[in-house]
Structure 1
Amino acid sequence: MTPVPATVEIPGYLAGTWKADPVHSEIAFTVRHLMISKTRGRFTIYDVTLVTSEDLLGTSVAATIDLASIDTGNEIRDNHLRTADYLEIEKYPTMSYRSTGIRQTGDGWAVDGELTLHGVTRQVPLAVEVNGFGPDPWGGQRAGFSATAEINRRDFGIDISTPMEAGGVVVGDKVSISLEIQAALQK
Protein backbone atom coordinates (compact mmCIF):
# COMPACT_ATOMS: atom_id res chain seq x y z
CA MET A 1 0.00 0.00 0.00
CA THR A 2 1.37 3.43 -0.93
CA PRO A 3 1.50 5.81 2.05
CA VAL A 4 -0.56 8.97 1.82
CA PRO A 5 1.62 12.13 1.84
CA ALA A 6 1.97 13.44 5.40
CA THR A 7 0.58 16.87 4.56
CA VAL A 8 -2.72 15.29 3.51
CA GLU A 9 -3.03 13.54 6.88
CA ILE A 10 -2.75 16.75 8.93
CA PRO A 11 -5.72 19.10 8.41
CA GLY A 12 -4.69 22.71 7.96
CA TYR A 13 -0.99 21.86 7.61
CA LEU A 14 1.05 24.86 6.40
CA ALA A 15 4.66 25.15 5.32
CA GLY A 16 6.57 28.00 6.93
CA THR A 17 8.63 29.17 9.89
CA TRP A 18 6.98 28.98 13.30
CA LYS A 19 8.04 30.35 16.70
CA ALA A 20 6.86 28.94 20.02
CA ASP A 21 4.54 31.30 21.90
CA PRO A 22 5.97 31.32 25.46
CA VAL A 23 2.60 32.29 26.94
CA HIS A 24 0.98 29.16 25.50
CA SER A 25 3.90 26.70 25.54
CA GLU A 26 5.75 24.75 28.21
CA ILE A 27 9.05 22.88 28.43
CA ALA A 28 8.82 20.68 31.52
CA PHE A 29 10.55 17.76 33.21
CA THR A 30 9.93 15.18 35.92
CA VAL A 31 12.51 13.28 37.98
CA ARG A 32 12.24 10.83 40.90
CA HIS A 33 13.01 12.23 44.32
CA LEU A 34 13.86 10.07 47.34
CA MET A 35 12.81 7.05 45.24
CA ILE A 36 9.20 7.55 46.36
CA SER A 37 7.87 10.60 44.54
CA LYS A 38 8.43 12.79 41.51
CA THR A 39 9.57 16.38 41.37
CA ARG A 40 8.35 18.49 38.48
CA GLY A 41 9.86 21.58 36.96
CA ARG A 42 9.94 23.70 33.86
CA PHE A 43 12.08 26.17 31.98
CA THR A 44 10.50 29.58 31.43
CA ILE A 45 12.90 31.15 28.91
CA TYR A 46 13.50 29.45 25.58
CA ASP A 47 13.52 29.95 21.83
CA VAL A 48 11.91 27.24 19.72
CA THR A 49 11.74 27.49 15.93
CA LEU A 50 10.02 24.98 13.67
CA VAL A 51 10.36 25.07 9.92
CA THR A 52 7.66 23.04 8.22
CA SER A 53 8.29 22.18 4.60
CA GLU A 54 5.91 21.23 1.80
CA ASP A 55 6.97 17.63 2.49
CA LEU A 56 6.41 17.15 6.21
CA LEU A 57 9.41 14.82 6.39
CA GLY A 58 11.60 17.83 5.60
CA THR A 59 10.46 19.66 8.74
CA SER A 60 13.11 20.81 11.21
CA VAL A 61 13.17 21.98 14.82
CA ALA A 62 15.76 24.00 16.72
CA ALA A 63 15.51 25.01 20.37
CA THR A 64 17.69 26.83 22.87
CA ILE A 65 16.73 26.79 26.54
CA ASP A 66 18.06 29.19 29.18
CA LEU A 67 18.96 26.87 32.07
CA ALA A 68 18.91 29.72 34.60
CA SER A 69 15.15 29.89 33.99
CA ILE A 70 14.58 26.57 35.77
CA ASP A 71 11.50 26.69 37.99
CA THR A 72 10.49 23.83 40.28
CA GLY A 73 8.41 26.02 42.56
CA ASN A 74 11.15 26.04 45.22
CA GLU A 75 13.79 28.78 45.06
CA ILE A 76 16.30 26.93 47.26
CA ARG A 77 16.08 23.80 45.08
CA ASP A 78 16.24 25.88 41.86
CA ASN A 79 19.39 27.63 43.06
CA HIS A 80 20.97 24.25 43.91
CA LEU A 81 20.04 22.88 40.46
CA ARG A 82 21.89 25.83 38.88
CA THR A 83 25.16 24.91 40.65
CA ALA A 84 28.01 22.63 39.54
CA ASP A 85 26.23 19.74 41.32
CA TYR A 86 23.68 19.68 38.50
CA LEU A 87 23.31 22.10 35.56
CA GLU A 88 26.44 24.19 36.19
CA ILE A 89 24.91 27.22 34.48
CA GLU A 90 28.00 29.41 34.90
CA LYS A 91 29.83 27.09 32.49
CA TYR A 92 26.82 25.77 30.50
CA PRO A 93 24.13 28.49 30.42
CA THR A 94 21.93 26.83 27.79
CA MET A 95 20.78 23.48 26.52
CA SER A 96 19.91 23.05 22.86
CA TYR A 97 18.10 20.65 20.58
CA ARG A 98 18.50 20.31 16.84
CA SER A 99 16.45 17.88 14.80
CA THR A 100 18.19 15.56 12.36
CA GLY A 101 15.08 13.95 10.85
CA ILE A 102 11.40 13.21 11.24
CA ARG A 103 9.58 9.96 10.66
CA GLN A 104 6.07 8.65 10.96
CA THR A 105 5.53 6.03 13.66
CA GLY A 106 2.61 3.68 14.18
CA ASP A 107 0.60 6.19 16.19
CA GLY A 108 2.22 9.53 15.46
CA TRP A 109 5.58 11.06 14.66
CA ALA A 110 9.13 10.87 15.92
CA VAL A 111 11.62 13.68 15.64
CA ASP A 112 15.19 12.45 15.77
CA GLY A 113 17.67 14.98 17.04
CA GLU A 114 20.66 15.96 19.11
CA LEU A 115 20.32 17.34 22.63
CA THR A 116 23.30 19.26 23.98
CA LEU A 117 23.31 19.59 27.76
CA HIS A 118 26.17 20.15 30.19
CA GLY A 119 28.67 20.15 27.30
CA VAL A 120 27.57 16.73 26.03
CA THR A 121 25.63 16.02 22.83
CA ARG A 122 23.51 12.87 22.55
CA GLN A 123 20.86 11.56 20.19
CA VAL A 124 17.44 12.04 21.79
CA PRO A 125 14.29 11.17 19.84
CA LEU A 126 11.06 13.00 20.63
CA ALA A 127 7.70 11.23 20.38
CA VAL A 128 5.48 13.91 18.83
CA GLU A 129 1.75 14.35 18.62
CA VAL A 130 0.54 16.96 16.13
CA ASN A 131 -2.37 18.66 17.87
CA GLY A 132 -3.42 20.75 14.90
CA PHE A 133 -3.02 23.77 12.65
CA GLY A 134 -5.47 26.64 12.42
CA PRO A 135 -6.19 30.35 12.46
CA ASP A 136 -5.93 32.48 15.59
CA PRO A 137 -8.24 35.41 16.51
CA TRP A 138 -5.59 37.97 15.42
CA GLY A 139 -5.40 37.01 11.76
CA GLY A 140 -2.43 34.69 12.13
CA GLN A 141 -1.91 30.96 12.03
CA ARG A 142 -1.07 28.66 14.95
CA ALA A 143 0.14 25.08 15.25
CA GLY A 144 0.16 22.88 18.33
CA PHE A 145 2.44 19.99 19.22
CA SER A 146 2.98 17.75 22.23
CA ALA A 147 6.25 15.85 22.61
CA THR A 148 7.88 13.57 25.14
CA ALA A 149 11.32 12.06 25.66
CA GLU A 150 13.34 10.44 28.40
CA ILE A 151 17.01 10.98 29.11
CA ASN A 152 19.46 9.67 31.66
CA ARG A 153 21.13 12.64 33.36
CA ARG A 154 24.36 10.63 33.77
CA ASP A 155 24.63 10.40 29.96
CA PHE A 156 25.13 14.18 30.05
CA GLY A 157 27.73 14.19 32.81
CA ILE A 158 25.30 15.16 35.57
CA ASP A 159 26.27 12.37 37.91
CA ILE A 160 25.70 13.59 41.45
CA SER A 161 24.59 10.62 43.53
CA THR A 162 23.59 11.26 47.08
CA PRO A 163 22.87 7.80 48.51
CA MET A 164 20.01 7.20 50.89
CA GLU A 165 20.43 5.20 54.08
CA ALA A 166 17.73 2.72 53.06
CA GLY A 167 19.18 2.30 49.55
CA GLY A 168 18.71 4.19 46.33
CA VAL A 169 19.62 7.80 45.65
CA VAL A 170 18.05 11.15 46.45
CA VAL A 171 17.58 12.08 42.76
CA GLY A 172 16.80 9.49 40.09
CA ASP A 173 18.84 9.08 36.91
CA LYS A 174 15.92 9.15 34.46
CA VAL A 175 14.45 12.51 33.53
CA SER A 176 11.13 12.61 31.66
CA ILE A 177 10.74 15.58 29.35
CA SER A 178 7.42 16.92 28.12
CA LEU A 179 6.80 19.72 25.66
CA GLU A 180 3.56 21.52 24.93
CA ILE A 181 4.25 23.89 22.07
CA GLN A 182 1.86 26.38 20.50
CA ALA A 183 3.69 28.04 17.65
CA ALA A 184 2.81 31.12 15.62
CA LEU A 185 3.50 31.28 11.89
CA GLN A 186 6.02 34.04 11.18
CA LYS A 187 5.21 36.52 8.43
Structure 2
Amino acid sequence: MTVAIAIPNYLIGTWKVDPAHSEVGFSVRHLMLSKVRGRFTTYDVTIVTTPDPLESLVQATIDLASVDTGNELRDDHLRSADYFETDAYPAMTYRSSGVRRTAEGWIVDGELTLHGVTRRVPLEVEVGGFGPDPFGGYRAGFSATAQLSRREFGIDLDVPLDGGGVAVGDKVTINLEIQAVLEK
Protein backbone atom coordinates (compact mmCIF):
# COMPACT_ATOMS: atom_id res chain seq x y z
CA MET A 1 0.00 0.00 0.00
CA THR A 2 1.39 3.41 -0.98
CA VAL A 3 1.06 6.16 1.59
CA ALA A 4 0.63 9.68 0.26
CA ILE A 5 3.26 12.12 1.53
CA ALA A 6 2.03 15.68 1.84
CA ILE A 7 4.50 18.43 0.98
CA PRO A 8 2.82 21.84 0.83
CA ASN A 9 2.68 23.26 -2.72
CA TYR A 10 4.66 20.27 -4.08
CA LEU A 11 5.09 20.39 -7.85
CA ILE A 12 6.27 17.67 -10.17
CA GLY A 13 8.75 18.48 -12.90
CA THR A 14 12.39 19.08 -13.73
CA TRP A 15 14.20 21.76 -11.74
CA LYS A 16 17.54 23.42 -12.50
CA VAL A 17 19.69 25.06 -9.87
CA ASP A 18 19.75 28.85 -9.67
CA PRO A 19 23.45 29.47 -8.91
CA ALA A 20 22.78 33.07 -7.87
CA HIS A 21 20.66 31.79 -4.97
CA SER A 22 22.42 28.53 -4.14
CA GLU A 23 25.64 27.37 -2.51
CA VAL A 24 27.64 24.16 -2.57
CA GLY A 25 29.92 24.35 0.43
CA PHE A 26 32.11 22.29 2.73
CA SER A 27 34.05 22.49 5.97
CA VAL A 28 36.99 20.50 7.35
CA ARG A 29 39.03 20.61 10.56
CA HIS A 30 42.35 22.43 10.27
CA LEU A 31 45.24 21.92 12.73
CA MET A 32 42.77 20.05 14.95
CA LEU A 33 41.66 23.48 16.24
CA SER A 34 39.09 25.04 13.97
CA LYS A 35 37.22 24.52 10.72
CA VAL A 36 38.08 25.93 7.32
CA ARG A 37 35.09 26.54 5.07
CA GLY A 38 34.94 26.67 1.32
CA ARG A 39 32.57 26.47 -1.59
CA PHE A 40 32.45 25.60 -5.25
CA THR A 41 31.34 28.40 -7.55
CA THR A 42 30.58 26.35 -10.69
CA TYR A 43 28.14 23.45 -10.60
CA ASP A 44 25.07 22.03 -12.29
CA VAL A 45 22.23 20.43 -10.34
CA THR A 46 19.07 18.88 -11.78
CA ILE A 47 16.22 17.71 -9.58
CA VAL A 48 13.29 15.72 -10.95
CA THR A 49 10.27 15.66 -8.67
CA THR A 50 7.84 12.85 -9.42
CA PRO A 51 4.22 12.21 -8.36
CA ASP A 52 5.60 10.05 -5.54
CA PRO A 53 8.35 12.14 -3.85
CA LEU A 54 10.16 8.91 -2.91
CA GLU A 55 10.85 8.31 -6.63
CA SER A 56 12.38 11.76 -7.23
CA LEU A 57 15.91 12.09 -8.65
CA VAL A 58 18.93 14.32 -8.16
CA GLN A 59 22.00 14.69 -10.38
CA ALA A 60 24.87 17.10 -9.75
CA THR A 61 28.21 17.92 -11.32
CA ILE A 62 30.64 20.18 -9.46
CA ASP A 63 33.65 21.78 -11.15
CA LEU A 64 36.45 21.11 -8.65
CA ALA A 65 38.66 23.85 -10.10
CA SER A 66 36.04 26.36 -8.94
CA VAL A 67 36.94 25.75 -5.27
CA ASP A 68 36.98 28.97 -3.26
CA THR A 69 38.08 29.11 0.39
CA GLY A 70 38.90 32.81 0.31
CA ASN A 71 42.64 32.05 0.14
CA GLU A 72 44.22 31.72 -3.31
CA LEU A 73 47.26 29.74 -2.12
CA ARG A 74 45.06 27.24 -0.30
CA ASP A 75 42.72 26.96 -3.30
CA ASP A 76 45.69 26.23 -5.59
CA HIS A 77 46.88 23.56 -3.13
CA LEU A 78 43.39 21.99 -3.09
CA ARG A 79 43.48 21.81 -6.91
CA SER A 80 46.89 20.06 -6.83
CA ALA A 81 47.69 16.34 -6.78
CA ASP A 82 47.76 16.49 -2.96
CA TYR A 83 43.96 16.88 -2.88
CA PHE A 84 41.51 17.17 -5.79
CA GLU A 85 44.03 16.67 -8.62
CA THR A 86 41.80 18.68 -10.95
CA ASP A 87 43.94 18.05 -14.04
CA ALA A 88 43.07 14.34 -13.85
CA TYR A 89 39.69 14.61 -12.04
CA PRO A 90 38.05 17.90 -13.02
CA ALA A 91 34.58 17.15 -11.61
CA MET A 92 32.81 15.61 -8.67
CA THR A 93 29.43 14.03 -9.47
CA TYR A 94 26.44 12.89 -7.45
CA ARG A 95 23.59 10.69 -8.65
CA SER A 96 20.71 9.76 -6.39
CA SER A 97 19.58 6.17 -6.07
CA GLY A 98 16.56 6.66 -3.82
CA VAL A 99 14.68 8.92 -1.44
CA ARG A 100 13.34 7.95 1.95
CA ARG A 101 11.40 9.62 4.70
CA THR A 102 12.69 9.65 8.29
CA ALA A 103 11.24 11.00 11.51
CA GLU A 104 13.52 14.04 11.13
CA GLY A 105 12.98 14.69 7.42
CA TRP A 106 14.30 13.19 4.20
CA ILE A 107 17.34 11.21 3.12
CA VAL A 108 18.48 11.18 -0.48
CA ASP A 109 20.64 8.11 -1.01
CA GLY A 110 23.15 8.31 -3.80
CA GLU A 111 26.62 7.82 -5.11
CA LEU A 112 29.31 10.47 -5.04
CA THR A 113 32.25 10.18 -7.43
CA LEU A 114 35.33 12.12 -6.40
CA HIS A 115 38.98 11.64 -7.34
CA GLY A 116 38.05 8.62 -9.47
CA VAL A 117 36.36 6.82 -6.56
CA THR A 118 32.62 6.23 -6.14
CA ARG A 119 31.06 5.79 -2.70
CA ARG A 120 27.56 5.85 -1.29
CA VAL A 121 26.88 9.18 0.41
CA PRO A 122 23.44 9.87 1.89
CA LEU A 123 22.25 13.48 2.01
CA GLU A 124 20.08 14.63 4.91
CA VAL A 125 17.60 16.95 3.23
CA GLU A 126 15.26 19.62 4.52
CA VAL A 127 12.60 20.70 2.04
CA GLY A 128 12.35 24.49 2.23
CA GLY A 129 9.27 24.63 0.06
CA PHE A 130 7.80 25.17 -3.37
CA GLY A 131 6.22 28.35 -4.65
CA PRO A 132 5.85 30.99 -7.33
CA ASP A 133 8.57 33.56 -7.93
CA PRO A 134 8.03 37.20 -8.95
CA PHE A 135 9.00 36.40 -12.56
CA GLY A 136 6.11 34.08 -13.42
CA GLY A 137 8.00 30.88 -12.66
CA TYR A 138 8.16 28.42 -9.80
CA ARG A 139 10.98 27.71 -7.39
CA ALA A 140 11.87 25.05 -4.87
CA GLY A 141 14.29 25.26 -1.97
CA PHE A 142 16.31 22.50 -0.31
CA SER A 143 19.01 22.38 2.36
CA ALA A 144 21.18 19.28 2.61
CA THR A 145 24.12 18.04 4.62
CA ALA A 146 26.42 15.04 4.42
CA GLN A 147 29.68 13.86 5.88
CA LEU A 148 32.37 11.94 4.09
CA SER A 149 35.87 10.67 4.66
CA ARG A 150 38.34 12.21 2.23
CA ARG A 151 40.60 9.16 2.69
CA GLU A 152 37.82 6.89 1.36
CA PHE A 153 38.06 8.88 -1.88
CA GLY A 154 41.84 8.46 -2.16
CA ILE A 155 42.60 11.95 -0.85
CA ASP A 156 44.89 10.83 1.91
CA LEU A 157 47.62 13.44 2.36
CA ASP A 158 48.29 13.65 6.10
CA VAL A 159 50.70 16.20 7.51
CA PRO A 160 51.33 15.13 11.12
CA LEU A 161 51.41 17.72 13.90
CA ASP A 162 54.08 17.69 16.61
CA GLY A 163 51.52 17.27 19.40
CA GLY A 164 49.58 14.56 17.55
CA GLY A 165 46.86 14.69 14.95
CA VAL A 166 47.08 15.98 11.41
CA ALA A 167 46.96 19.38 9.72
CA VAL A 168 43.74 18.60 7.81
CA GLY A 169 41.02 16.38 9.24
CA ASP A 170 39.64 13.36 7.44
CA LYS A 171 35.95 14.15 7.97
CA VAL A 172 34.52 16.67 5.51
CA THR A 173 31.07 18.16 6.06
CA ILE A 174 29.10 19.04 2.93
CA ASN A 175 26.51 21.83 3.14
CA LEU A 176 24.11 22.55 0.29
CA GLU A 177 21.64 25.40 -0.02
CA ILE A 178 19.79 24.86 -3.27
CA GLN A 179 17.18 27.05 -4.90
CA ALA A 180 15.94 25.54 -8.15
CA VAL A 181 13.73 26.85 -10.94
CA LEU A 182 11.06 24.72 -12.61
CA GLU A 183 11.89 24.25 -16.28
CA LYS A 184 9.12 25.21 -18.69
- TM-score normalized by the length of structure 2: 0.98
Unaligned runs of 5+ in 1: none
Q: After TM superposition, give the deviation of residue 3 of structure 1 in Å.
A: 7.5
Among candidates 67, 71, 76, match of residue 70 of structure 1: 67
Partner deviation per Cα, 1:112-139 (whole Å, 9 max, x = no partner)? 0000000000000000000000000000
Q: After TM superposition, give the deviation of residue 157 of structure 1 in Å.
A: 0.1
Give the Cα–Cα distance (whole angstroms) in 2 for the partners of residues 28 and 123 of structure 1: 19
Residue 183 of structure 1 aligns with which residue?
180
Counterpart residue identity of residue 24, structure 1: H
Residue 19 of structure 2 aligns with which residue?
22
Give the Cα–Cα distance (whole angstroms) in 2 for the partners of residues 33 and 178 of structure 1: 17
Partner deviation per Cα, 1:146-172 (whole Å, 9 max, x = no partner)? 000000000000000000111100000
Aligned residue pairs total: 184
| 1:102-141 map, 5 Å | 102-141=99-138
Among candidates 96, 99, 106, match of residue 99 of structure 1: 96
Among candidates 153, 156, 160, match of residue 159 of structure 1: 156
Q: After TM superposition, give the deviation of residue 4 of structure 1 in Å.
A: 4.5
Residue 49 of structure 1 aligns with which residue?
46
The ranges of structure 1 where at least 4 consecutive aligned residues each deviate by more than 2 angstroms after the TM superposition are none
- TM-score normalized by the length of structure 1: 0.97
Unaligned runs of 5+ in 2: none
Give the Cα–Cα distance (whole angstroms) in 2 for the partners of residues 156 and 85 of structure 1: 12
Give the Cα–Cα distance (whole angstroms) in 2 for the partners of residues 3 and 185 of structure 1: 26
Give the Cα–Cα distance (whole angstroms) in 2 for the partners of residues 154 and 58 of structure 1: 31
Percent pairwise identity: 68
Give the Cα–Cα distance (whole angstroms) in 1 for the partners of residues 160 and 167 of structure 2: 6
Give the Cα–Cα distance (whole angstroms) in 2 for the partners of residues 160 and 47 of structure 1: 28
Pair 1:89-2:86 in alignment? yes
Counterpart residue identity of residue 105, structure 1: T
